[in-house]
């Protein structure tokens, strides 16, 4: 068990200055909230910190608790607040639409749904031009399964181990993290295949990832070759022989970078080679862009573009609504038409407010050049965190692209043993005390996830780095 060290207030890193004053909190006390939680809220909803953090206001990359204390949000509501908390343009779009028309359902036409669908389709490459709007990532991936099965006439679905694709009954089958699975009969014909993790997996080395940071594992690959990719692809091919069967695949799901699984990146060319195998077996490739989409990875607007493929179906949610519950499935007209063989409706999908918010988010990303900012600030963070890894034995791995970053924490035992929950929680608490909110991920819950609003600055990033370093020093 780690020794808890209290950082003196005078020694705390200073938060960057902002021109904003939060309003006073006048809601229930923290104690009253605790009582309500015990009596009236499902017990699965557990606070991140040992001492619950009661938040009541947000402004861009900043959050304020019930006492008025300010925090730099480096998690963005689980990679959801893309352009900033309460961004004025998003707020105005929502309220202006609220005053005109709140709900109609898709049985009727309203202009915002069509304006947003067209603008979103314009952001997609190739023939990915048909949009279906929904409310959550789980719904989007659930619909993608249905589309893949309808279009191909096959039932078998593959996803990668360590992935997260949702928590509806069917997407829980796609999801392959044990702590997100319940003791119920799993949905049929969904299989999870070996995850090509170059840090924790069987194969991987020091030049495998498309990232500024690489693993410390030895790599004997020659230029433009990756033995880890070749080996993981060989294992994927074996799944078709032993599990799916040639020509029987409906769809293959993959995140461009795994989110909940701990910002895991695959070997270079793995997704491209997997795509070829999917096509050879008459299946559809479904790219889950719920966390990696709309410019977050920096180099491209969509994460799949960095892998050099054109998926058949793309699912998205989270950041496209900046916190408003909305999602989308984008595919080709040919695949979309298969849904007309029956009746399908989503009552709230594409409602006027959601569509207005979605339009505002896309406008802001363009106007404020947030994709470019993600690349610039994210590259700075990844580079500095990788330098920190060389100074602190408790940092096992740094990985990611843009503002989609993972820092895997380990014990100081020379064996890369995942950091214990006690030590990891102490680290999070220490950062929180100094005004920094971090995310958690990975199968062993030992990965710091950095997925902030894309409006953060280098000054903010420097503050985050200073806090993390000070917290790490307290654990030595």
Is residue 10 one of the residues assigned to a domain? no
Same domain as 376, residue 353: no
Residues 276 and 348 in one domain: yes
Which of these three, 367, 396, 413, is where a domain ends? 367
The DSSP output letter for 300 is -
Residues 103 and 186 reside in one and the same domain? yes
User: Residue 299 pLDDT more than 70?
Assistant: yes
Q: What's the mean pLDDT when you consider all of the chain?
A: 94
Instruction: Give the model's pLDDT for residue 9.
Output: 43
pLDDT value, residue 169: 94
**Residue at which a domain ends, from 320, 338, 367:** 367
Note the pTM of the prediction, 2 decimals: 0.94
Residue 49 lies in a domain: no
Residue 51 lies in a domain: no
- pLDDT single digits (tens) 181-193: 899 999 999 999 9
Domain count, the chain: 2
* More confident site: 392 or 106: 392
In this structure, the answer to whether residues 467 and 446 fall within a common structural domain is yes
Specify whether 331 is located in the same domain as 402: no
Maximal C-alpha separation, the chain: 67
For 11, how many CA atoms within 13 A lie in the half-sphere containing its CB?
Answer: 10
Which tokens in the block code for residue 428? 């999070």
Task: Tokens for 349, please give them.
Answer: 């999908």
Mean pLDDT of 441-464: 97
Q: How would you class 106 by CB atoms within 10 Å of its CB: exposed for 0-12, middle for 13-18, buried for 19 or more?
A: middle
Handedness of CA 94, 98, 99, 101 (dihedral sign): positive
Please report, for the domain that includes residue 227, its CATH number.
Answer: 3.40.640.10
What digits encode the pLDDT tens for the residues 202-223? Answer: 999 998 999 999 999 888 777 7
The domain boundary, picked from 367, 398, 433, lies at 367
pLDDT digits (tens, 9 = 90+) for 193-202: 999 999 999 9
What domain range is 460 assigned to?
56-74+369-473
410 shares a domain with 285: no
> 104-163 pLDDT, tens per residue?
988 889 999 999 999 999 999 999 999 999 999 999 999 999 999 999 999 999 999 999
**Can you list the positions of beta strands (E) in 175-298?**
190-193, 249-255, 284-288
Determine, yes or no, domain membership for 302: yes
Comparing CA positions, the residue from 252, 265, 334 lying closest to residue 299 is 265
pLDDT of residue 207: 87
Query: Distances in Å between the alpha carbon of 475 and those of 66, 422, 435?
Result: 29, 12, 18
């Amino acid at each position: 068990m780690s020794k808890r060290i209290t950082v003196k207030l005078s020694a705390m890193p200073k938060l960057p200055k902002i021109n904003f004053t939060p309003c006073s909190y006048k809601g229930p006390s923290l104690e009253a909230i605790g009582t309500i939680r015990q009596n009236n809220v499902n017990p699965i909803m557990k606070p991140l910190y040992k001492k619950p953090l009661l938040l009541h206001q947000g402004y861009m990359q900043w959050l304020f608790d019930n006492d008025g204390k300010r925090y730099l949000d480096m998690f963005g509501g689980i990679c959801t607040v893309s352009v900033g908390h309460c961004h004025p343009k998003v707020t105005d779009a929502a309220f202006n639409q609220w005053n005109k028309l709140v709900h109609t359902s898709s049985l009727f036409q309203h202009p915002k749904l069509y304006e947003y669908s067209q603008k979103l389709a314009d952001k997609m490459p190739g023939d990915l031009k048909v949009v279906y709007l929904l409310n959550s990532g789980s719904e989007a991936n659930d619909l993608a399964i249905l589309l893949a099965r309808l279009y191909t006439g096959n039932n078998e679905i593959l996803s990668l181990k360590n992935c997260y694709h949702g928590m509806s009954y069917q997407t829980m089958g796609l999801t392959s993290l044990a702590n997100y699975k319940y003791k119920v009969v799993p949905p049929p014909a969904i299989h999870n295949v070996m995850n090509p993790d170059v840090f924790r997996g069987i194969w991987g080395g020091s030049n495998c990832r498309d990232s500024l940071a690489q693993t410390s594992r030895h790599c004997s690959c020659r230029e433009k070759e990756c033995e880890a990719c070749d080996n993981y692809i060989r294992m994927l091919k074996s799944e078709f022989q032993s599990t799916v069967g040639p020509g029987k695949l409906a769809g293959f799901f993959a995140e461009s970078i795994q989110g909940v699984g701990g910002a895991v990146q695959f070997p270079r060319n793995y997704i491209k080679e997997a795509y070829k195998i999917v096509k050879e077996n008459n299946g559809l490739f479904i790219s889950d862009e719920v966390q990696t989409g709309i410019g977050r990875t920096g180099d491209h607007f969509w994460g799949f573009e960095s892998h050099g493929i054109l998926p058949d179906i793309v699912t998205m949610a989270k950041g496209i609504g900046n916190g408003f519950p909305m999602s989308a499935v984008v595919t080709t007209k040919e695949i979309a038409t298969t849904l007309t063989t029956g009746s399908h409706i989503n009552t709230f999908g594409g409602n006027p407010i959601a569509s207005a918010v979605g339009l505002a988010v896309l406008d802001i990303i363009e106007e404020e050049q947030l994709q470019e900012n993600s690349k610039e600030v994210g590259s700075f963070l990844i580079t500095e965190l990788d330098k920190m890894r060389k100074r602190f034995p408790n940092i096992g791995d740094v990985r990611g692209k843009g503002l989609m970053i993972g820092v895997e924490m380990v014990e100081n035992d020379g064996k890369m043993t995942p950091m214990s929950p006690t030590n990891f929680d102490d680290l999070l608490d220490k950062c929180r005390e100094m005004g920094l909110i971090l995310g958690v991920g990975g199968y062993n819950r030992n990965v710091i996830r950095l997925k902030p609003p894309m409006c953060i600055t280098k000054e903010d990033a420097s503050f985050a780095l200073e806090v993390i370093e000070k917290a790490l020093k307290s654990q030595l």
